[in-house]
């Protein structure tokens, strides 16, 4: 199969784009998980609490600056190359919808930086339960964005789509229930140990 230069460049940009997306999301998912551990460290006795909080703040900063933000930048550079290679995408509805969700993702990314700052100052009021729910938001956006890019203007609205949305919600609820079960178990063990 012969690929002319611009077609090959398009595929390179797509490769870059997909790798960027994977890195960006790995960073976003793990970052908010670290926030949950950071908030749960409040329950530790001193001096453990201080040591944990310091360590989580360091891990969050490194993850955000070395993995998550570069992932975002690589995604956008790849996307710009794809649009240069095929500017006609710009007039298509699926891309407008996708861009709207991407703006939501970038806002989520920026809000993570705000939470990271508050956590490092010990001023974050969020509970672990709220953060777990917050951590589900990018999953939903990921599913929608990937569906848009795959189905484009033939976006399906039938049973399969609703099944997928139900699956994401089921996963979110399971995570909350599992955390609650773990907390109750730890409380029971603490009572039994007395
Ligand atoms: C920065 C804004 C973005 C723009 C302008 C953009 C634009 C595009 C374009 C034009 C394509 C090529 C479509 C094709 O060749 O069929 C593409 C592919 C893709 N995009 Fe994006 N994208 C953006 C962000 C994202 C994000 C945030 C995700 C993931 C959540 C994502 C996931 C993908 C995937 C998986 C593909 C490959 C689809 C395929 O090969 O069929 N994109 N993107």
CA distances from residue 150 to 4, 10, 75, 191 in whole angstroms, order as listed: 24, 17, 17, 52
Task: Kindly report the protein residue whose alpha carbon is nearest to atom 7 of ligand 1.
Answer: 79
Annotated binding residue 54: no
Q: Predicted confidence band at 1 (pLDDT cuts at 50, 70, 90)?
A: very low
The rounded distance, in Å, linking the Cα atoms of 65 and 78 is: 19
Q: Predicted confidence band at 5 (pLDDT cuts at 50, 70, 90)?
A: low
Q: Identify which of 100, 146, 149, 168 to mutate to test ligand 1's pocket (most ligand atoms within 8 A of the CB).
A: 149
Does the ipTM exceed 0.85?
yes
Which H/E stretch holds residue 27?
Answer: helix 5-40
The rounded distance, in Å, linking the Cα atoms of 59 and 55 is: 6
Average pLDDT taken over every residue of the chain:
92
User: Distance, CA 9 to ligand 1 centroid (Å)?
Assistant: 15
Please spell the DSSP secondary structure of 80-110, one letter per residue.
HHHHHH-GGGGG-HHHHHHHHHHHHHHHHHH
* Residue 33, both tokens: 């998980």
Q: Predicted confidence band at 56 (pLDDT cuts at 50, 70, 90)?
A: very high
User: Distance, CA 37 to ligand 1 centroid (Å)?
Assistant: 32
User: Distance, CA 80 to ligand 1 centroid (Å)?
Assistant: 10
Instruction: Verify whether ligand 1 is closer than 6 Å to residue 79 (CB atom).
Output: yes
User: Distance, CA 146 to ligand 1 centroid (Å)?
Assistant: 7
pLDDT number for residue 49: 92
Predicted confidence (pLDDT) per residue in 72-104, tens digit: 999 999 999 999 999 999 999 999 999 999 999
pLDDT number for residue 179: 83
pLDDT number for residue 2: 41
Task: Kindly report the protein residue whose alpha carbon is nearest to atom 27 of ligand 1.
Answer: 102
Predicted confidence (pLDDT) per residue in 120-143, tens digit: 999 999 999 999 999 999 999 999
Instruction: Verify whether ligand 1 is closer than 6 Å to residue 21 (CB atom).
Output: yes
Domain residue extents for the chain: 5-155
Alpha-helical segments (H) within 41-151? 48-62, 69-85, 93-120, 128-134, 137-151
* Residue 166, both tokens: 């139900």
- Prediction pTM value: 0.89
Task: Kindly report the protein residue whose alpha carbon is nearest to atom 12 of ligand 1.
Answer: 82
Annotated binding residue 98: yes
pLDDT number for residue 4: 52
Per-residue buried b or exposed e for 5-27, using 16+ beta carbons within 10 Å of the residue's own CB: eeeeebeebeebbeebbebbbeb
Predicted confidence (pLDDT) per residue in 6-50, tens digit: 889 999 999 999 999 999 999 999 999 999 999 999 988 889 899
Instruction: Verify whether ligand 1 is closer than 6 Å to residue 113 (CB atom).
Output: no
């Amino acid at each position: 199969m012969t690929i002319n230069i611009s077609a090959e460049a398009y595929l390179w940009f797509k490769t870059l784009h997909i790798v960027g997306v994977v890195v960006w999301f790995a960073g976003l998912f793990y970052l908010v998980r670290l926030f949950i551990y950071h908030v749960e460290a409040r329950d530790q006795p001193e001096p453990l609490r201080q040591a944990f909080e310091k360590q989580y703040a360091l891990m969050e900063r490194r993850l955000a600056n070395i993995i998550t933000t570069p992932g975002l930048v690589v995604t956008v550079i790849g996307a710009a190359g794809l649009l240069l290679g095929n500017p006609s995408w710009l007039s298509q509805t699926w891309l407008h919808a996708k861009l709207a969700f991407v703006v939501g993702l970038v806002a989520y990314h920026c809000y993570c930086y705000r939470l990271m700052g508050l956590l490092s100052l010990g001023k974050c009021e969020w509970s672990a339960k709220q953060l777990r729910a917050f951590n589900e938001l990018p999953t939903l956006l990921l599913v929608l964005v990937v569906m848009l890019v795959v189905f484009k203007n033939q976006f399906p609205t039938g049973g399969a789509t609703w099944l997928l949305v139900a699956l994401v919600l089921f996963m979110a609820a399971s995570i909350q229930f599992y955390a609650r079960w773990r907390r109750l178990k730890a409380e029971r063990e603490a009572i039994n140990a007395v």
